[in-house]
Amino acid sequence: MGIISHMQSCDDFNKANISNINKKNSKNSIKRKSLKNPSCKKPKSEKIQFKQIGIKTRLIDVHKISRNDMQHVKELGNNDSTYINALLNLETVINEYGKEYDIEDIFKHFLKQFDNKYKYKVCMMMKRTDGVINGYEFIWEVRFKDWYLLQIQEKLHDKKRKI
């Protein structure tokens, strides 16, 4: 057989040599070296605890979505992961459009879209920044704004009837 390196031939390269190499580079040898040299020790990092609030709690407390509405979303979803993803998508939309539009209107449109088209493909309602094509822009930039204008026109028309 041919020569692998200037040190040894193929025939000499066996499991015994491999285990010897691995032993020299093993975790145990690193631990022994670091115990001998105190400058190698890593400083202990401070334990930082983040207050982690669940998505349900955030939507209820921060965005004032009722528990009944959350239950309705859960009933429309086919499993728990779909439910959680739908709530995350709802929170994203509320954060983006909540300043311009009423949260109740955003939620109504979200339920309508989720129930009619996206309950089995909730990932299509997710905002993506990685270039993957999905329906987020179409749902919220086109459909929602058109739907919202119709809602405003209906409210104005109803007010004119009452007067």
Shared domain for 16 and 93, answered yes or no, is no
Shared domain for 18 and 67, answered yes or no, is no
Shared domain for 12 and 27, answered yes or no, is yes
Element housing 149 (H / E): helix 144-162
Residue range 50-87, pLDDT digits in tens: 444 688 899 998 889 999 999 998 898 888 888 888 89
Q: Which pLDDT band holds residue 36 (cuts at 50, 70, 90)?
A: low
Q: What is the DSSP string of 108-132?
A: HHHHHHIIIIISS-GGGGS--SSS-
Question: Which residue has 């270039």 as its token pair?
Answer: 131
Number of independent structural domains in the chain: 2
The reported pLDDT for the residue numbered 26 is 57
**Angstrom distance (rounded) from CA 139 to CA 160:** 30
Shared domain for 93 and 140, answered yes or no, is yes
Shared domain for 143 and 94, answered yes or no, is yes
- CA contacts within 13 A on the Cβ side of 52: 3
Check if the beta carbon of residue 38 is closer than 8 Å to that of residue 32: no
Residue range 109-156, pLDDT digits in tens: 989 888 887 777 777 777 777 766 677 888 888 888 898 888 888 888
For residue 46, is pLDDT > 70?
A: no
Shared domain for 35 and 75, answered yes or no, is no
Q: In DSSP terms, which residues pair with 9 in a beta bridge?
A: 3
Shared domain for 70 and 137, answered yes or no, is yes
